[in-house]
Amino acid sequence: MPIRPLRRPSGPCLALACALLAGASARAEQAVQRPFTAQDLVMLARVSEPRLSRDGQQLAFTLRQTDYDANRGARALWSLPTLDGKSAPRRLSAEGSNAWSPRWSADGRTLYFLSDRGGSTQVWQLSDHGGEAQPVTRLPLDVTSYQLSPDGRALAFTLDVRLDCDTLECTQQALKPAKAGKASGTLYSSLFVRHWDSWADGRHGQLFLAPLDADHVMRGTPTRISKGIDGDIPSRPFGDESDYAFSPDGRSVYFAARLADRHEAWSTNFDLYAVPADASAPPRNLTADNPAWDATPVPSADGRFLYYLATRRPGFEADRFAIMELDLGSGRRREVAADWDRSASGLALAADGRSLLTTADDKGAHPLFSIEIASGAVHRLSGPGNVSDFSAAAGTVVIAHDTLSAPGDLFRLGPGREARQLTTVNSERLKDVGMVPAEEFTFAGWNGDSVRGYVMRPHGYVPGRRYPVAMLIHGGPQGSWLDDFHYRWNPQVFAGAGYAVVAIDFHGSTGYGQAFTDAISGHWGDRPLEDLQKGWAAAQDQFAYLDGSRACALGASYGGYMINWIAGNWATPASGAWRCLVNHDGVFDNRMMYYATEELWFDEWENHGALPWTDAAAYEVFNPAAHVADWKTPMLVVHGALDFRIPLEQGLGAFTALQRRGISSQFLVFPDENHWVQKPQNSVQWHRTVLDWLGHWTGKAAD
């Protein structure tokens, strides 16, 4: 069970990671910096969407800053005039409105973006001639995403419209409340009736195209080029402009969609379509032979091939996304890098046209990779940590990068994984904050497989002392505790509050090969629990500062399910009972979960493909509700009322069981949050409530 640094040296490290390691050593000696807090977390600036101009010389990006009093984030566009790491970023968009999704014109002289100035979201432009931003679109509906044609003469964009409407104004009128009558009911005849955090209102995302005039302004009425495809473009709830792309000559558009038919709520069958940009023919299905997920179209530079991501198993959202090549002339297809046992996330063509860029979870990291198209050879381009986004042009690659010890900044990649830091967006806010480094450990888990975990010492750690522990359990369940800076479940906040942290990538986690990920399906309550039990024992054996007699377990989503499962199936870890539990948006009753959730394919796959009325036993074998008689550990239950993935009644059910059993418990409800807690003041309240709960039961409050 070897112990090694989480950021283990393997060639040149990212500049920021190296600096943090050196800084951590200096802080350990001085121990003068203050701990990281929940208030710090919500106030951090968040950098995203780096976008290079075609010549690779200009960079625009989005920066989100927190308006705490208004209880929201505000997004603005910024740019870097040079990429040498010496120039200061310059704000481009005006105060008082949000701006995001930057895109450069082909000549680099115009920057396009989305903005909600004026009361609705439209495409805007900024010219290098200076002056105020000008609208590109003036549509009666919000623009949800867009793409520029390669020559800059056309704009593809998406709008949420009613499919029974022939005009945008028709949809606009349909959204207005009825003037007569007081009846408020909505009649549905098929699923989805609600999805993620919103109720269906009869609209679907559709793809439109319009020419731009010499002033880069859309004139006339746009053409709906996805007509006949009754589905959502981009996909809901998390799709974006990567769901569609122009051909290099601008004559065709490729897009991904799942049909909104009666099977939609239990189908993962997304297909890729090709449609003439002038809508002279209906969309043509390019991947009808694959009943699973096809997405993220990327044409080759010469237009002969289409690269995309695809899964093989229908109904399994966590299947490995393979990189595929489709010969648009012959229809022949093949997998690129078929032996690479990782699931690609995002796809872009490199400047040389001979390789593809993608990111993927990889043993606790999420780096950027280059894949040679011809040979399938895989090259890792970035070091430890998380690449949340990237942009490549003319041989230049810029990444948005973060780690467990550092929030995101922009870096320019060089050879050998070297990186030049371009931004320091939180340097002033964090100048007196002491971040805590993490240590990685491995142990033999279920089936004797090697399982990874990490631990963090509490801020202000004193050798020889023992500390209360927060064991964090990730969701998904096909997810991972990455070396990244999370804005909801951030271990730095717990370490800053004086807790040691333990986190384990149990079977089902991503980044260790598809077989490791597959191992959890149908086994929610046994294999991952065995990993958590063995990992918790291994951590206590190897890290003497962990006080196992003062430990609480916390988790959200699947992690919340596991908290409910632990309550009835793991009451006494090796060093004594759990002092407390925290269940955020967790599954309580497997059977009712199926009937109340929205994406049915998930529950069906995770329960051996069974339906609860044909195989009730499949839903009962690992059902937390069946073990309530064995519950005895104090539990804090947290739930968002707008969570339609794991509905509110699951949290309420757990709290009802706790109260009726006479077990110490609390229930924190957010009426304005979904599966995540995102509003700044809600996040601070969440952290204070959770830390107060931990402090009460571990005795930390009295330390």
pLDDT digits (tens, 9 = 90+) for 249-290: 999 999 999 999 999 999 999 999 999 999 999 999 999 999
Go through the chain and tell me how many residues it has.
703
Structural domains for the chain = 438-702 (3.40.50.1820)
Distance CA 101, CA 147 (A): 10
Q: Where are the beta strands (DSSP E) in 593-680?
A: 635-640, 665-670
- With the C-alpha atoms ordered 166, 169, 172, 173, is the resulting torsion angle positive or negative? negative
Residue 416: per-residue pLDDT: 79
Q: Distance between CA atoms of 501 and 538, rounded to whole angstroms? A: 14
With helix as H, strand as E and coil as C, how does 407-451 read?
EEEEEEECHHHCEEECCCCCCCCCCCECCCCEEEEEEECHHHCEE
Q: pLDDT exceeding 70 applies to what percent of the chain?
A: 94
Report whether pLDDT(28) > 50.
Answer: no
Residue 26 has pLDDT above 60, yes or no: no
Average pLDDT over residues 663-676: 98
Q: What angle do CA 610, 613, 617 make, to 5 degrees?
A: 60
- Give the pLDDT of residue 479: 98
Q: Is the pLDDT of residue 3 over 60?
A: no
Clarify whether 55 is annotated catalytic.
no
- How far is 298 from 327, CA to CA, in rounded Å? 12
* Mean of per-residue pLDDT scores for the chain: 93
Question: Tell me, what's the pLDDT at 700?
Answer: 81
Q: Which helix (H) or strand (E) covers residue 294, if one does?
A: strand 294-299
**Pairing of the two strands 450-456 and 467-473:** unpaired
- Please give the residue that has the higher pLDDT: either 37 or 96: 37
Edge to edge, the sheet with strand 438-444 lists 3-5, 438-444, 450-456, 500-505, 467-473, 546-556, 580-584, 635-640, 665-670
Which is the catalytic residue, given 195, 366, 639, 675?
Answer: 675
Q: What is the pLDDT of residues 456-488, one digit of tens each?
A: 999 999 999 999 999 999 999 999 999 999 999
* Cβ neighbour number for residue 336 with a 10 Å cutoff: 21
Query: What are the helix and strand counts (H, E) for the chain?
Result: 12, 39
**Could you say which DSSP state residue 173 is in?**
H
H-helix or E-strand spanning residue 325: strand 322-327
Under the banding of pLDDT at 50, 70 and 90, the label for residue 703 is: low
Counting Cβ atoms within 10 Å, is residue 303 exposed (0-12), middle (13-18) or buried (19+)? middle
Segment 374-397 shows an average pLDDT of 97
Catalytic residue among 197, 294, 389, 643: 643
pLDDT of residue 6: 36
pLDDT of residue 228: 96
- The reply to whether the predicted model has a pTM over 0.75 is yes
pLDDT digits (tens, 9 = 90+) for 413-453: 988 778 999 999 999 999 999 999 999 999 999 999 999 99
Q: Is the pLDDT of residue 27 over 60?
A: no
| pLDDT score, position 570 | 94
Examine the pLDDT at 181 and tell me if it is beyond 90.
no
Question: How much is the average pLDDT of 599-608?
Answer: 98
The residue type found at 508 is G
Q: Choose the catalytic residue: 557, 584, 603, 687.
A: 557
Q: Please compute Rg for the chain using Cα positions.
A: 25
| Predicted confidence (pLDDT) per residue in 500-530, tens digit | 999 999 999 999 999 999 999 999 999 999 9
Angle of helix 558-569 versus helix 527-542 axis, rounded to 10: 80
The Cα–Cα gap between 168 and 166 comes to: 7
**Active-site residue 84, yes or no?**
no
- Arithmetic mean of pLDDT, 485-493: 97
Q: What one-character DSSP code corresponds to residue 133?
A: -
* Residue 22 binned pLDDT confidence (cut-offs 50, 70, 90): very low
C-alpha span between 212 and 134 (Å, rounded)? 13
* pLDDT tops 50 at residue 5: no
Question: How sure is the predictor about 81, in pLDDT bands with cuts at 50, 70 and 90?
Answer: confident
Which of 212, 211, 263, 205 has the alpha carbon at shortest distance from 237?
Answer: 205
Helix residue ranges, H only, 207-284 = none
pLDDT band at 576 (very low <50, low <70, confident <90, very high): low
> CA 51 to CA 278: how far, in whole Å?
28
Tokens 């053409």 found at: 223
Residue 12 has pLDDT above 70, yes or no: no
Nearest-angstrom CA–CA distance, 450 and 1: 9
Q: Across residues 45-50, what is the average pLDDT?
A: 98
Q: Which of 631-663 are b and which e, b meaning 16 or more Cβ less than 10 Å from the residue's Cβ? A: bbbbbbbbbbebbbbbbbebbebbbbbbeeeeb
Active site annotation includes 204: no
pLDDT at 4 over 50: no
For residue 597, pLDDT beyond 60: yes
